[in-house]
Amino acid sequence: MSIGFIGLGNIGKPIAKHLLKLDEPLWVHDVAVGPVAELVALGARRAGTPGELARECRHIGICVRDTIDVEQLLYGCSGSGGGLLEQAQAGSVIAVHSTVTHEAMMRWARHASMRGIHLVDAPITGGAGGAEDARLCYMVGASDELFERCQPVFATSSNKQVHAGDTGAGITLKLCNNVMTYAAFAAIDEASRLARAGGLTLEMLVEVGRANGVVTPQMEAFIGNRDGIAARGPEMLEKAFGLFGALGRKDLSAALESAEKLGVNMAASERVRDIIEDVFLARR
């Protein structure tokens, strides 16, 4: 049996490359032909459809944009050749690395179980750079046995795997992490604007924030990179940061939808969700 990976974007492609370290057949699939060709040149095998990949693989990783994209892969859509849940062999593992809702993950896991398939939530943090350097952190929702089974696969692209608990715990941890991350970006955006309006510099703000631990390296990198690109004009900023702003809104929407289903009020995060694209694009 082989390893399979679907979704060869700026994070998924380096993850798939690292999977070649396992020295097992690797099947890859993506709607974009370029990344697939690049992986094939390195020794991977091309799957024409998700179903073809599913029939060949004992472990399938999914790294696509959102809940809808994962849903289409699992259940199939027009021209897909059948969904993964229909085509995968009993006993195989499907690991979902995408940021999705908790409710969807639990529903998918139930349906997978009915077919004798193990669905594991294994979202990641660390970004494209972490994927390239094999420094990702996986947050895994699975039984002890499944976590142990998946660890060698996840270890190829990570330096940490956190076993958060049973199914659903991994995506919940990821959503919590995203809530904190985007709130921090919004906080340093507003603080920097207040500082400048009061005649202070960003450097002063960061210096004090470092001293008391309020400003993290991630926050500092965000505001510095954003402002540096913004100085080159709004078109450059849109090109560099527009996608990240849209992803922020998508991720926070998933967190808020999950919170509502679990009976948790997150009023501050609602506000961050509503402004996060403006934060990335320095529009306020």
Active site residues: 174
CA distance 224 to 218: 10
CA distance 102 to 175: 9
Nearest to 140 by CA among 100, 107, 173: 173
Q: What is the H or E stretch that residue 28 is in?
A: strand 26-29
CA 272 to chain centre: 19
CA 174 to chain centre: 8
CA distance 42 to 20: 8
Torsion of CA 66, 69, 73, 78, to 10 degrees: 170
**CA angle 117–121–123, rounded 5-degree value:** 145
Q: What is the DSSP letter of 199?
A: T
Q: What is the DSSP letter of 102?
A: H
CA distance 189 to 60: 39
Q: Parallel, antiparallel, or unpaired: how do β-strands 26-29 and 2-6 relate?
A: parallel
